[in-house]
Amino acid sequence: MAKRVMIVDDAIFMRMKLKDILEKNGYEVVAEAQNGAEAIEKYKTDKPEIVTMDITMPEMDGIAALKGIKQIDPGAKVIMCSAMGQQAMVMEAIQSGAVDFIVKPFETDRVLDSLGKASK
């Protein structure tokens, strides 16, 4: 059975790119959100098994959203997505409970490797 994934990114192009990679490789994208606040609401209703979370977004950033999702579900599997040069934020995300991180631009093999880790 396909793993249910929610993609969170304020850039529609990035969501489309990630969705394309996931769907071609047997994942089911059950929700998309464009900011952290929306991600928390959709996590409650759509109950994804894995979340890909952009770090920098308007309204509520990915780290705040990660913490919010972890409060709802301490076992949530969240993979952070970051641009180059965001190591400090990536470290904070890992300390806050992210299972892994992917650097943009997305490379299919790296994305699938990260989702594989989160699926265990």
For 20-42, write each residue's pLDDT tens digit: 999 999 999 999 999 999 999 99
pTM value surpassing 0.85:
yes
Domain range list for the chain: 4-108
- The class (CATH top level) of 4-108 is alpha beta
The amino acid at residue 16 is: M
pLDDT score of 87 more than 90:
no
Evaluate whether 79 touches 51 at the Cβ level (below 8 Å): yes
- Report CA Rg, the chain: 12
Q: Looking at the chain, how many residues does it have? A: 120
Does residue 7 have a pLDDT over 70? yes
Q: Which residue has the higher pLDDT, 120 or 62?
A: 62
d(CA 67, CA 73): 10
115 in Cβ contact with 4 (< 8 Å) = no
